[in-house]
Amino acid sequence: MRFAKLGTALLTDDVAASTRFYVDHFGFRTLADLGWYTSLQHPQHPEFTLDFTQRGHAAMPADFRTQETGGVLLGFMVADAAAEEATLRAAGVPIAEPLRDEPWGQRRFNVWSPEGTLIEVLQTIDPDPEWMAAQGL
C-alpha cells in the first residue's frame, strides 16, 4: 500500500484544549477547525497530520465514538530533550516520567496531553556499550 499522507486522529472531550496544547507546546499549526474537529500540521513535517474529533460525534463509527483515548503514545525526536523538558515543565505541562538516559541510546521523558495521550520526547545519545554487548547487539 502506498500512502499519499499519514495522519493520526484522536478522540477528545475538549477539542479546543487539545488543539491549544499541541499548538502552544509543540509548534503545530491549525489546518482546519470545525469546532468538533480540528486538523493540525507541524511546519517541519507537512506530510503528517494530527487530528482531534469530539468524543461522541456522529462522524466516527458508532462502536468507536465514545471510547476513551488510551494506549496511545506519540513520539517526538528532538535535539535536546533536557531543554525541552525544562521548557514544558516551566509551562506547567504534566510530566508523566522525568528525564532519563536509557542504556540503548535514548534520553527521554514523557508528558500527558489533555486528551490522555502519552507523549515521549526523546533524543538519541550514545548507547552503553556494556548493555549493548549484554543484549547481543
pLDDT tier for residue 69 given thresholds of 50, 70 and 90: confident
Q: 3-state DSSP: the chain helix, strand, coil percent, rounded to 5?
A: 20, 40, 40
Alpha-carbon torsion 81, 87, 91, 92, what sign? positive
Look at residue 71 in the predicted model and tell me its pLDDT: 85
Tell me the whole-structure pTM to 2 decimals: 0.90
pLDDT tier for residue 67 given thresholds of 50, 70 and 90: confident
Distance of CA 42 to the CA centre of its chain: 12
